[in-house]
């Protein structure tokens, strides 16, 4: 679907979508349980993949009211305000068919470790993009723990074959490729007999995402502990040398339900839209922005550093953003890789240079997001310099003008380009607009309600 965004201003209130990161973890945690309700979930292409995996392991997912939990996407409606999960109680069955993770890297990594618990073989695959992403370190870790875990093409990429059962133990894994490897091992390790000790061989990047996992595990009654080099417990994942999760634990949220918080990765586009295109004298108000362990809440501080007029009422969970002159800054995205496209879009509108550093790992997402943002922003008239671990956007040398750009089949690229298009002269056509369904299905509806001049080819077909 092509989306056409014309230079326009925005104002008014909108609500942040639920967190994709929390929804993935909550659905799988509920699957590990004897049964639980996940309230305020994000129902999207990615989270449906996790729901299908829970079903494949012998669980079931469906609306919390109106019908029993079911086993098809049709029984996970887009507007579900709560999902009932019949869990497999820590013992996943061997799936009767291949698990298709579609385009969801989070699903594949978390589910790969869950598959190791089954007493038999599980095959996991996905679309072309997912089959090009690295899974090797997680496969090696599982193999070191005594599980058969292989890439069918012997290249560390899906399709994968995993045969359990996993008993637990101690394992070493790099921390600078994907924090999801750690999350996967911790979630599965809690229901093994022996538990799992994870030793990091390199510094942990994206530590806030592991903090999300630790927070959610605690809410489900599971204890997992980050430790320093001497084995002493730490308060959070940052600076951890490893993690310990005891075996024989049970997943059981208080009251049998868990509520998903708002998604700060998605909030970042709304904050950026207000910063570059809020109607003079007006604000964009974002509701559902309550504090949590999400590292991407850093977008508020980053926008403020760039000169945006931002107010965050943490008690009420409301962010108000007003348009103001922006100036480039340096931002380290080692812990917040999903913010790179948003920051790059802001940098194209700001004066001076915006340097996004420590970003090499952002090249291994749905697409190479460093190259994608550099190339697509240049199509719009921005000046950029791309290095292996640094993206610099030269705002003072940029003059954004409408053009046809490619969303690279990546939801975050599409939404960030839409933000840049608000400030570009004329109309910008973004190819692949339908991919926002991965994390923010109502993005263009929400932006239209705020005043974005947007048209969609084939919308509603």
Among the candidates 197, 225, 259, a domain finishes at 259
pLDDT digits (tens, 9 = 90+) for 284-298: 999 999 899 999 999
The annotation status of 40 as a binding-site residue, yes or no, is: no
Which pLDDT value is given to residue 76?
78
My answer on whether 176 and 226 are in the same domain is yes
Q: CA 104 to CA 106: how far, in whole Å?
A: 5
The annotation status of 365 as a binding-site residue, yes or no, is: yes
The annotation status of 20 as a binding-site residue, yes or no, is: yes
The annotation status of 206 as a binding-site residue, yes or no, is: yes
My answer on whether 41 and 190 are in the same domain is yes
My answer on whether 217 and 325 are in the same domain is no
pLDDT in tens, the chain (461 residues): 999 999 999 999 999 899 999 999 999 999 999 999 999 999 999 999 999 999 999 999 999 874 444 444 556 777 789 999 999 999 999 999 999 999 999 999 999 999 999 999 999 999 999 999 999 999 999 999 999 999 999 999 999 999 999 999 999 999 998 999 999 999 999 999 999 999 999 999 899 999 999 999 999 999 999 999 999 999 999 999 999 999 999 999 999 999 999 999 999 999 999 999 999 999 999 999 989 999 999 999 999 999 999 999 999 999 999 999 999 999 999 999 999 999 999 999 999 999 999 999 999 998 999 999 999 999 999 999 999 999 999 999 999 999 999 999 999 999 999 999 999 999 999 999 999 998 999 999 999 999 999 999 965 43
Q: Is residue 330 part of a domain?
A: yes
The annotation status of 309 as a binding-site residue, yes or no, is: no
Which pLDDT value is given to residue 77?
73
The annotation status of 363 as a binding-site residue, yes or no, is: no
Which pLDDT value is given to residue 75?
62
CA angle at residue 95 from 142 to 194, to 5 degrees?
Answer: 35
Packing angle, helices 340-349 and 298-305, rounded to 10? 20
My answer on whether 88 and 117 are in the same domain is yes
My answer on whether 232 and 337 are in the same domain is no
Q: Is residue 284 part of a domain?
A: yes
Peptide bond into 202 cis (omega under 30): no
The annotation status of 338 as a binding-site residue, yes or no, is: yes
My answer on whether 194 and 307 are in the same domain is no
The annotation status of 140 as a binding-site residue, yes or no, is: no
How buried is residue 392: exposed, middle or buried, by Cβ count under 10 Å (0-12/13-18/19+)? buried
My answer on whether 33 and 7 are in the same domain is no
Q: Is residue 155 part of a domain?
A: yes
Is residue 80 within 8 A of residue 41, CB to CB? The reply is yes
CA angle at residue 126 from 122 to 129, to 5 degrees?
Answer: 145
Is residue 124 within 8 A of residue 184, CB to CB? The reply is no
Tokens of 141: 């870790």
My answer on whether 53 and 9 are in the same domain is no
Among the candidates 199, 230, 259, a domain finishes at 259
Q: Is residue 461 part of a domain?
A: no
Is residue 397 within 8 A of residue 365, CB to CB? The reply is no
Which pLDDT value is given to residue 173?
97
Q: Which residues are catalytic?
A: 338
Q: CA 295 to CA 336: how far, in whole Å?
A: 6
Q: Is residue 46 part of a domain?
A: yes
Q: CA 10 to CA 295: how far, in whole Å?
A: 26
Which pLDDT value is given to residue 74?
52
My answer on whether 245 and 365 are in the same domain is no
Domain that holds residue 7: 3-17+262-456
CATH number of the structural domain spanning residue 321: 3.65.10.10
Is residue 52 within 8 A of residue 100, CB to CB? The reply is yes
For β-strands 121-125 and 169-173, DSSP reports them as unpaired
Among the candidates 259, 283, 302, a domain finishes at 259
Number of domains the chain contains: 2
My answer on whether 105 and 222 are in the same domain is yes
Q: Is residue 96 part of a domain?
A: yes
Q: CA 189 to CA 196: how far, in whole Å?
A: 5
The annotation status of 211 as a binding-site residue, yes or no, is: no
My answer on whether 274 and 364 are in the same domain is yes
Which pLDDT value is given to residue 214?
98
What b/e sequence results for 40-55 when a residue is b if at least 16 CB atoms lie within 10 Å of its CB, and e otherwise? bbbbbbbbbbbbbbbb
My answer on whether 192 and 297 are in the same domain is no
The annotation status of 178 as a binding-site residue, yes or no, is: yes
Q: What is the 3-state secondary structure (H, E, C) of the chain?
A: CCEEEECCCECEEEECCECHHHHHHHHHHHHHCCCEEEECCCCCHHHHHHHHHHHHCCCEEEECCCCCCECCHHHCCCCCCEEEEECCCCCCCCCCCCEECCCCHHHHHHHHHHHCCCCCEEEEECCCCHHHCCCHHHHHHHHHCCCEEEECCCCCCCCEEEECCCCCEEEEECCCCCCHHHHHHHHHHCCCCCCEEEEECCCCCCHHHHHHHHHHHHHCCCCEEEECCCCCECCCCCCCCEEEECCCCCCCCHHHEEECCECHHHHHHHHHHHHHHECCCCCEEEECCCCCCCHHHHHHHHHHHCCCEEEEECCCCEEEEECCCCECCEEECCCCHHHHHHHHHHHHHCECEEEEECCHHHHHCCCCHHHHHHHHHHHCCCEEEEECCEEEEEHHHCCCECCEEECCCCHHHHHHHHHHHHHCECEEEEECHHHHHHCCCCHHHHHHHHCCEEEECCCCC
The annotation status of 25 as a binding-site residue, yes or no, is: yes
How buried is residue 89: exposed, middle or buried, by Cβ count under 10 Å (0-12/13-18/19+)? middle
Q: CA 378 to CA 400: how far, in whole Å?
A: 9
Q: Is residue 405 part of a domain?
A: yes
Q: Is residue 133 part of a domain?
A: yes
What CA dihedral angle connects 73, 19, 341 and 15, to 10 degrees?
100
């Amino acid at each position: 679907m092509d989306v056409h965004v014309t230079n326009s201003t925005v104002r008014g209130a909108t609500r942040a979508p639920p967190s994709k990161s929390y929804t993935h973890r909550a659905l799988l945690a509920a699957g590990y349980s004897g049964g639980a309700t996940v309230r305020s979930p994000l129902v999207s292409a990615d989270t449906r993949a996790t729901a299908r995996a829970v079903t494949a392991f012998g669980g079931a997912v469906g609306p919390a009211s109106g019908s029993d939990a079911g086993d098809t996407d049709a029984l996970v409606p887009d507007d579900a305000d709560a999902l009932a999960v019949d869990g497999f109680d820590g013992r996943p069955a061997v799936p009767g068919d291949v698990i298709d993770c579609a385009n969801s890297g989070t699903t594949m990594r978390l589910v790969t470790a869950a598959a190791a618990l089954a007493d038999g073989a599980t095959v996991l695959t996905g679309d072309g993009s997912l089959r090009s992403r690295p899974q090797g370190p997680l496969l090696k870790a599982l193999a070191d723990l005594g599980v058969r875990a292989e890439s069918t093409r012997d290249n560390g990429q899906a399709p994968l074959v995993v045969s359990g059962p996993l008993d637990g133990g101690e394992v070493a894994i790099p921390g600078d490729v994907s924090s999801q490897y750690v999350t996967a091992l911790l979630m599965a390790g809690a229901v093994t007999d022996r538990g799992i000790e994870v030793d990091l061989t390199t510094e942990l990047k994206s530590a806030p995402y592991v903090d999300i996992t630790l927070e959610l595990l605690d809410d489900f009654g599971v204890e997992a502990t980050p430790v320093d080099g001497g084995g002493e417990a730490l308060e959070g994942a940052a600076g951890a040398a490893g993690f310990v999760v005891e075996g024989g634990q049970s997943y059981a949220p208080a009251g049998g339900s868990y509520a998903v918080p708002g998604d700060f990765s998605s909030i970042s586009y709304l904050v950026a839209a207000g910063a570059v295109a809020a109607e003079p004298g007006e604000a964009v108000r974002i509701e559902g922005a309550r504090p949590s362990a999400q590292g991407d809440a850093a977008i508020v501080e980053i926008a403020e550093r760039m000169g945006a007029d931002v107010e965050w009422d943490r008690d009420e969970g409301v962010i108000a953003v007003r348009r103001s002159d922006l100036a480039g800054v340096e931002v380290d995205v080692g812990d917040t890789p999903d913010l790179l496209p948003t920051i790059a879009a802001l940098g194209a509108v700001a004066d001076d240079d915006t340097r996004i550093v420590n970003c090499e790992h952002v090249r291994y997402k749905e697409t190479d997001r460093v190259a994608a943002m550099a190339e697509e922003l240049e199509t719009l008239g921005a000046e950029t310099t791309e290095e292996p671990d640094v993206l610099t956007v030269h705002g003072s040398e940029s003059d954004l003008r409408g053009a046809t750009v490619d969303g690279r089949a990546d939801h975050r690229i599409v939404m960030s380009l839409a933000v840049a298009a608000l400030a570009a002269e004329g109309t910008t056509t973004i190819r692949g607009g339908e991919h926002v369904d991965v994390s923010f299905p109502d993005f263009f509806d929400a932006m239209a309600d705020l005043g974005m001049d947007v048209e969609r080819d084939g919308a509603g077909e």
